[in-house]
Amino acid sequence: MPKVEVELRGPLARYALVSSVGLITLHIQEGTTLGDVFKQLSIPENHLGLVLVNGRKASLEKKLHEGDRVSVYPLVAGG
């Protein structure tokens, strides 16, 4: 079963239930997409800001592969 690392930045780290630093390793099925991972972690799509796979911007339809590193940054608001 392929493994990917998911790094949840800022307030998104609370969704990494087993890690207080927001870095988790997931075992995924072949064909798993970013959207599937966020559903598995119960992260609402409207909380996602910048999503990168191996340092490149990616859509929720992106299929993940063994060794991929996903970095997720929250939306930023303020004024």
Q: What is the CATH number of the domain that holds 33?
A: 3.10.20.30
Flag whether 79 is in a domain: no
Closest C-alpha to 49, from 69, 71, 74: 74
- Which has the minimum average pLDDT: 5-9, 15-19, 30-34, 61-65? 15-19
Q: Note the pTM of the prediction, 2 decimals.
A: 0.88
Q: In terms of residue numbers, what domain contains 44?
A: 3-74
Q: Residue 16 has which token pair?
A: 């990494």
79 band by pLDDT with thresholds 50, 70 and 90 = low
Helix H or strand E segment including 68: none
Alpha-carbon distance of 59 to 29, in angstroms, equals: 18
Flag whether 20 is in a domain: yes
Q: Which residue has the tokens 């590193």?
A: 69
Q: How many structural domains comprise the chain? A: 1
Stretch 15-41: mean pLDDT? 88
